Structure 1
Amino acid sequence: MSYKNFPMVPRVIFGRGSFNQLSEILAPKRLNINAPFIFLVDDVFKANSWLTSRIPLSYDDKIIYVSAAEEPKTSQVDSLVENIILNTKERPSGIIGIGGGTLLDLAKAVAIMLTNEGEAKDYQGWDLVKNEAVYHVGIPTISGTGAEVSRTTVLTGPDRKLGINSDYTPFDQVILDSELTKKVPTEQWFYTGMDCYIHCIESLEGTYLNTFSQSYGEMALELCKEVFLDEEGLKQSDSEEKLMMASWHGGMSIVYSQVGIAHAMSYGLSYLLGTKHGIGNCIVFDQLEEFYPEGVKLFKQMKEKHGIELPKGICSELSEADLNKMIDIAFDLAPLWENALGKNWQKIMTRDKLKELYLKM
């Protein structure tokens, strides 16, 4: 039997206020004064001097503000890479992503595409990247996606939504400063946190489960329960730290296993309707009682506790062609279905069954 030999993030710093150490972390990594650090920053922070004034700029370093209103696209990666190449004297010393899963995925993809020829869409899939990425750092400002720890960068391409999944994708350095998550709006906090919760349920109940994944998944699941069900006794700062660690452990739980039905189906929603990943997972998971009875029951309790109303009827007006496209995209993710339902998954999840599920959303 051949075992997967996955890379992990080699360096991580954790703690409130650790963002202030960014300057000393980056200094030894600067190649020369003409090789800048490029900071890709969620544009919600444009007017937030509390964060932006602490970004350590020197020489030709640049901040590029990026909208996270839509899911990251391969075309967006290509235009960022072109912008960086045209506006820097030398290849950058590093790419630093500051934001949620969208910004972290973009930072990973840009770091890869600066050293690999062609377009980002050419690398959607498993182990297609040939050259090591430029040095890249991830600094999450919201918790749940696990993008800070994973070896994939999920992108919507011209034909499909699929990650650049490679040994060169993980960050070289991650800074986990839960203070950066303190102003996240409640709904966004919930949807992104549920991405982590759903990672855990899908990993722990999947056929790919092993002790490596299980140990991380169980830890992340417990932390999610504390944050989303028992938070009365938690200080805000403790809750932020626990969710940040849940995100890390949830991401680790799928490194050596896989996600499942909610993620496969939400890729279809995202590709066709532009539904953001976290909310898409929630909309799908809400309908999956048949497959994850305990997990969905707990999810509904969390939803009620935090007064979350999910959008309804988002697929009701779709044409037959649109529904078929969504089904094709979901079915393209065979490892997710096999993890959820076993090797004979196609006998259990037929096109009609999947269509019926989409029409409930």
Structure 2
Amino acid sequence: MIKNFRTVPNIVFGKGCFYQLDNIIDKRRQYTDSWVAFLVDDVFVATELESRIPQHDDDLLIWVNVDDEPKTTYVDRLTLEVHNHSRTLPCAVIGIGGGSTMDLAKAVSLMLTNSGCSHEYQGWDLIKNQGIYHIGIPTLSGTGAEVSRTTVLTGPERKLGINSDYTVFDQVILDPNLIKDVPGLQRFYTGMDCYIHCIESLQGTFINTFSRAYGEKALELCRNVFLDDEPESEEKLMMASYFGGMSIAYSQVGACHALSYGLSYILGTRHGVGCCIAFDYLEEFYPEGVKEFREMMKRNYINLPRNIISRVNEEQLEKMISVALSLDPLWENCLGKNWKEIMTREKARSLYLKM
């Protein structure tokens, strides 16, 4: 069977389109007691963006903190806060921020209509009920969270997404003005998440014409932004993120993302940083991609963190390896169906020890 996957049904793109948010939400406010839950990255407290959020009297605005990678326990706390705000469920959940904030909004939307704790749904197609209508508004570009069917969370046992057709946003608003003031280092690391998505997708065993079409265009746009420094780079990076996310909808990421999950679970390494650290040691699997990545680092004056594994004890290293090797689809995409014969625990260990 060929996968019948869901994509974002409604998209607004263009400078200044954030101002259309109130009109879009208004269509969801069907009753006098309808209300909206806004989950917004707390870096925007007391900024211009705060004043532009179209919050009505009964709405709930939650400032979320994403200094650490999103955890299932945090999702459960946020869900409870939304539940406690009113006797009725919100008519919409809106995530405004980078990939982590958007992932939290997606997860809360799902947990408002599915019982239990969020860690119970880490995996593929475990969600049973459609979530609350949810909107994603990226203020960083690169992760592809605005278009993906997953919300990546660190649970009690592992870092793994809630992967479901219900996870996909119902609406995204792509306003390049929202990413124009992102600090250069953060812009690079989130942008490289997109670049690495494309390399892993295009060189994977799951590749097909659909994924290739999106991946090749996203790769071209990443090169425009990080090698050529072309004008309108915000718009190009925003579309690279979108296309990069679409490129893995019918394929998958690979070795770099698997290894980065282990780094994040044990060390709390931010996703984009972890991907860059891991990718720099994967010439064996992605030789041309790593070469080009290093040129991008050079042109953007990036110095990666080194020797981070020196802080890890033997028990933590073993857990890190287990987390990475639990992601079967990623390794199969990278190495084929016999990947376990190639990526042994000892091989994974040797890669980690280089970092």
Q: Normalization by structure 1: what TM-score?
A: 0.97
Task: Map Cα deviations across residues 33-69 of structure 1 (whole Å, 9 max, x no partner).
Answer: 3231111000000021x21111111130121001110
In 2: Cα distance, 1:32 partner to 1:125 partner: 35
Match of residue 142 from structure 2: 144
Which residue does the alignment assign to 2:164? 166
The one of 298, 308, 323 aligned to 1:329: 323
1:256-289, Cα deviation, whole Å (9 max, x unpaired): 0000000000000000000010000000001001
Q: Is 1:280 matched with 2:274?
A: yes
Q: How far apart in 1 are the matches of 2:274 and 2:241?
A: 18
Mapped partners of 1:307, 1:110: distance in 2: 37
Q: Write the letter of the residue equivalent to 2:12.
A: I
Once the two structures are superposed, the pairs formed by residues 1-361 of structure 1 within 5 Å of their partners are: 2-48=1-47, 50-231=48-229, 234-235=230-231, 238-361=232-355
Counterpart Cα distance in 1 of 2:348 and 2:79: 37
**Are the equivalent residues in 2 in contact too, given 1:338–1:344 (CA < 8 A)?**
yes
Q: Distance in 2 between matches of 1:197 and 1:153?
A: 19
State the Cα distance separating 1:105 from its structure 2 match: 0.3
AA matched with 2:13: F
CA distance in 1, matches of 2:3, 2:159: 24
Matching residue's letter, 1:22? L
Please report how far the alpha carbon of residue 304 of structure 1 lies from its aligned counterpart in structure 2 after TM superposition. 0.6
Report if the CA contact (8 A) 2:60-2:85 is conserved: no
Could you tell which deviates more after superposition, 81-90 or 151-160? 81-90
SS of match in other structure, 1:33: coil
Cα distance in structure 2, aligned partners of 1:82 and 1:68: 18
Identity of aligned residues (%): 62
Query: How far apart, in 2, do the equivalents of 1:356 and 1:94 lie?
Result: 46
Question: What is the letter of the counterpart of residue 156 of structure 2?
Answer: P
**CA-CA distance at 1:90 after TM superposition:** 1.1
For 2:30 and 2:170, locate their aligned partners in 1 and report how far apart those are by CA, in whole Å: 15
1-structure distance, mates of 2:31, 2:157 = 39
Note the residue ranges of structure 1 that are not aligned, 5 or more in a row: none
When structure 1 is superposed on structure 2, of 59-68 and 157-166 the one drifting more is 59-68
The one-letter amino acid paired with 2:141 is: S
1:89 positional shift: 3.1
CA–CA distance in 2 between the matches of 1:46 and 1:317? 34
Calculate the TM-score normalised by the size of structure 2: 0.99
Q: Aligned AA for 1:309? A: N
* One-letter identity of the residue aligned with 1:133: G
- Aligned partner of residue 188 in structure 1, secondary structure: helix
* CA distance in structure 2 between the partners assigned to 1:15 and 1:139 by the alignment: 12
- Mapped partners of 1:195, 1:31: distance in 2: 39
Q: CA deviation at 1:112?
A: 0.3
Q: Structure 1 stretches (4+) deviating beyond 2 angstroms?
A: 31-35
After TM superposition, the structure 1 stretch with the greater mean CA deviation from structure 2, 95-104 or 308-317, is 308-317
Q: Which runs of 5+ in 2 are unaligned?
A: none
Give how far 1:205 is off: 0.2
Spell out, residue by residue over 1:10-36, the C-alpha distance to the aligned partner (whole angstroms, 9 max, x if none): 000000000000010010111423231
Counterpart-to-counterpart distance in 1, 2:180 and 2:32: 34
Query: What letter matches 2:31 in structure 1?
Result: N
How far apart are residue 318 of structure 1 and its match?
1.5
